[in-house]
Amino acid sequence: MSAPKLYDIQGEYNGKEFEIKISRHQSESNEFFLCRILAYLLYKKDGARFYSEVCEGDEPAVVVEEASAIEYWIDVGIPTLKKMKHARSKAKNIVVVAYRDLDGLKKLREQISEWSHVRMLYIKPPLLKEASSLVKPKMRVTIEWDGEWLSIGGFGGKILEF
């Protein structure tokens, strides 16, 4: 993937172009792959990196490190409670970016309702399904984000936060 442009209306990256190179594992759906890229871009800061090519086991999709500590543990999908506890022991902040199973995300939020420093974002499946048609080698896409509304290459939808 190359040169996505991020318009973060509330943040510091308004109109900044990012060039990232990321491999898509053959087991990843277009939706998961795109969600992983979005998770990275929405929390793009110095020290942000993809943890590995694909989220595996108890590891996050993206981490943001500061002074050799994990500031943000960013997961894609609905992690298990066990994985959330692992994340809590390793990072100051946890972000979950989900695009399926809204009921599962709500249940997880209930299980950790007392935890601080956890942000859960839900991208409605139709948005990712439509936008996933843009996924191709060396793609260029404009992403607009205002904290509630997300637009990916002209496809838009509201992001739910829990």
- Angle ∠(81,24,158) on CA atoms, nearest 5: 60
DSSP 111-143: HTTT-SSEEEEEE-HHHHHHHGGG--TT---EE
With H, G, I as helix, E, B as strand and everything else as coil, classify residue 89: helix
pLDDT at residue 19 greater than cutoff 70: no
| CB 160 within 8 Å of CB 122 | yes
Domain region containing 119 = 5-161
Instruction: Out of 51-55, 62-66, 74-78, 140-144, give the one with best mean pLDDT.
Output: 74-78
**The pLDDT of residue 14:** 58
DSSP 14: T
Q: Return the minimum-mean-pLDDT range out of 13-17, 27-31, 35-39, 45-49.
A: 13-17
Interacting residues of 19 by C-beta distance below 8 A, sequence separation 6+: 2, 3
More reliable by pLDDT, 62 or 5: 62
**Which phi and psi (to 5°) does residue 83 adopt?**
-65, -35
Task: Work out the number of other CB atoms within 10 angstroms of the CB of residue 77.
Answer: 18
- Measured between its terminal Cα atoms, the distance across the chain in Å is 30
State the greatest distance between any 2 C-alpha atoms of the chain, in Å, as a whole number: 42
Please report where in the chains the tokens 């087991």 appear, as a residue. 27
Q: What is the mean pLDDT of residues 117-140?
A: 87
Write out the DSSP string of 23-58.
Answer: PPPTT--HHHHHHHHHHHHHT--TTEEESSSS--TT
pTM: 0.84
Q: Domain with 104 in it: what CATH number?
A: 3.10.640.10
- Judged against a pLDDT cut of 50, whether residue 1 lies above it is answered with no
pLDDT digits (tens, 9 = 90+) for 100-114: 999 999 999 999 999
Residue 2: per-residue pLDDT: 42
Q: What is the number of domains present in the chain?
A: 1
